[in-house]
Structure 1
Amino acid sequence: MTESATVASPEHPEAPPPDRRRVRSALRVVGELLITAGLVLLLFVFYAVYVTDWSTARKQAEATDQLQTRWEQPAPAAPPPPPSTGEGFAQLYLPEFGPDFRFAVLEGTDGETLSAGPGHYVGTAWPGEQGNFAVAGHRIGKGAPFNDLDKLDSCDPIVVETATRWYVYRVLPMADEVAGWNGHGGDQRCQGVAPIGGPYEQVHGQRIVLPTQGEVIHPVPGQPVDLLPPDQRTRLITLTTCHPEFSAEQRLIVHGVLTTEYPKDPAHPELRPAELEER
């Protein structure tokens, strides 16, 4: 009698070999771990982007209210003391990002201060002062004030408001614009903007550096702190943030030069620089 092959019925399938069962179990475990890791990553992104934004918005609103309250008080007879760590002392506007882009600038760049808004590097120049007024800000989460910093172009305004004055800085020419710089064809917005030259020859509108290159906030960016005496320094602003997005591997740097300043009129506090309307 010829032996026939055995065919497993759907009701009673043959059990897979032990090796195959182990492979299936391992794949199932790996799949579950990947799903769990994906959920954890999504929760982290949600926290970093949204939860911290809400917390920062509250802290930033408080800092702005406190700043405005101080500015509304009568001017003191003597100059006020320097701001303490975490205290707001100026307002920063980037008109290119719309009329709602306004942040109180706080003193210091520690983690707690930057969780409330852009922070001034202690020891760098003050707004309008000869030297380098340097400000750091987050790019992702915690309000992300500098999320779009890479979109700034040469001649774009960076406006800083203090208790008594408005300062208008403009982004310097980019490295690839220096050789043939013509002010964007004579664009009115580029008045006062040009490659600086001399010890500032390598100071351009935008650059990417390593986190260890702290010299970008020096009075002459990239040069020793004491290269020039204070009265020979150009009035600059430097904005710094992490690069690329969701990474702290590098730093994105934007340099601008002071082109205009306006005194505030206490009798007409509603008057604002026309540069705030530029887009």
Structure 2
Amino acid sequence: MRTIGELLITAGLVVLLFVVYELYITDLFSARKQASATVALDQDWAQGRTLHADLIDGEAFAKMYIPSFGADYHFTIQEGTDAKALEVGPGHYKGTALPGEPGNFAVAGHRVGKGAPFNDLDLLASCDAIVIETQSDFFVYRVLPHSDELANWNADKAARPQCANVGTLRTDAPDGGPYGKTYGREIVTPDQGEVVAPVPHRSADVLPTAQQVSLLTLTTCHPRFSDKQRLIVHAVLTNQYPKTPGATYEQLLQAIGGV
């Protein structure tokens, strides 16, 4: 009994140390990698590097800001969603659109540990802004209406200034049209990869590229501490601001009076 008790105590300590490692130590490692990626990206931009279609796996190419998460919230976005890329920060689903393009610019991120860039993704409300910065532009996306807001959208939120360019994307078709299944927030199973399709939940040929809406989709595990499901946030491009030399995100917020 004494031996069994000692083994159980040891096992408990191992589990506790593993939890501490996953929740805190990996955050420290990821913060260092994120800082290095940001410095490298800033150097690339200073040398005039522009965004191009043949991105390099594991290399940063854009930055993300979410104003409602505070002034300190900013992450560089890497190309790819493998484990190595996501240890650095949010990762771009290869083959999906680039920032500002028609289609679906899709990004994955950890919710717990490894920097946890998407820990609070469930707190995003409809019309909240998500800003993507590239070498040449700032792109402002806003979260689409949630499914339970559709019925009263025009009466409740559509008149708010931040919702000026945010619609439901639905048409009068019985199924709501090509974007009839695209809401600001949804919970799906891990095998539902169609959430990052050019038109979410639709086949590739449902709309020609030129007619596709410019979307941003963020994905993370759900609920916290579990990977049984995925939390999905869809946002629509509402504004594009070309950058002047030396322009910063803080200057953008001042110039437009916040987002």
Give the TM-score, by structure 1 length: 0.84
Q: Alpha-carbon deviation of 1:266?
A: 1.6
Q: Which amino acid aligns with 2:146?
A: M
114, 120, 137: which one aligns with 1:165: 137
Q: How many residues get paired?
A: 250
Change (3 A) 1:216 1:80: closer
Are 1:121 and 2:93 an aligned pair? yes
Q: Alpha-carbon deviation of 1:87?
A: 0.5
Q: Is this contact kept in 1: 2:158–2:166, CA < 8 A?
A: no
Deviation track 1:107-138 (CA, whole Å, cap 9, x = no partner) reads 00011011111000000000000000000000
Q: Alpha-carbon deviation of 1:50?
A: 1.1
> What corresponds to 2:83 in structure 1?
111
Deviation track 1:202-252 (CA, whole Å, cap 9, x = no partner) reads 100000000000000001101112221100100000000001111111100
Deviation track 1:88-120 (CA, whole Å, cap 9, x = no partner) reads 100001111111110000000011011111000
Are 1:54 and 2:52 an aligned pair? no
93, 98, 102: which one aligns with 2:74: 102
> What corresponds to 1:6 in structure 2?
none
> What corresponds to 1:254 in structure 2?
233
Q: Is this contact kept in 1: 2:81–2:93, CA < 8 A?
A: yes
Q: Alpha-carbon deviation of 1:193?
A: 0.9
Q: Is this contact kept in 2: 1:166–1:273, CA < 8 A?
A: no
**Hey, what's the Cα distance between the residues in 1 that align with 2:227 and 2:6?**
30
Change (3 A) 1:220 1:30: same
**Hey, what's the Cα distance between the residues in 1 that align with 2:257 and 2:204?**
32
> What corresponds to 2:192 in structure 1?
213
**Hey, what's the Cα distance between the residues in 2 that align with 1:153 and 1:147?**
15
Change (3 A) 1:65 1:248: same
Are 1:237 and 2:223 an aligned pair? no
Give the TM-score, by structure 2 length: 0.91
Q: Is this contact kept in 1: 2:158–2:164, CA < 8 A?
A: no
Q: Alpha-carbon deviation of 1:82?
A: 2.5
**Hey, what's the Cα distance between the residues in 2 that align with 1:34 and 1:64?**
44
Q: Alpha-carbon deviation of 1:30?
A: 5.2
Change (3 A) 1:37 1:199: same
Q: Is this contact kept in 2: 1:159–1:276, CA < 8 A?
A: no
Q: Which runs of 5+ in 2 are unaligned?
A: 171-176
CA RMSD of aligned residues (A): 1.9
> What corresponds to 1:8 in structure 2?
none
SS in 2 for 1:260: strand
- Comparing 80-89 and 251-260, the one that deviates more: 80-89
**Hey, what's the Cα distance between the residues in 2 that align with 1:113 and 1:46?**
22
Q: Alpha-carbon deviation of 1:259?
A: 0.6
Q: Which runs of 5+ in 1 are unaligned?
A: 1-24
SS in 2 for 1:176: helix
Q: Which amino acid aligns with 1:263?
A: P
151, 158, 164: which one aligns with 1:191: 164
Q: Alpha-carbon deviation of 1:40?
A: 1.7
Are 1:272 and 2:246 an aligned pair? no
Q: Is this contact kept in 2: 1:99–1:276, CA < 8 A?
A: no
Q: Which amino acid aligns with 1:190?
A: C
Identity of aligned pairs, percent? 55
**Hey, what's the Cα distance between the residues in 1 that align with 2:246 and 2:69?**
29
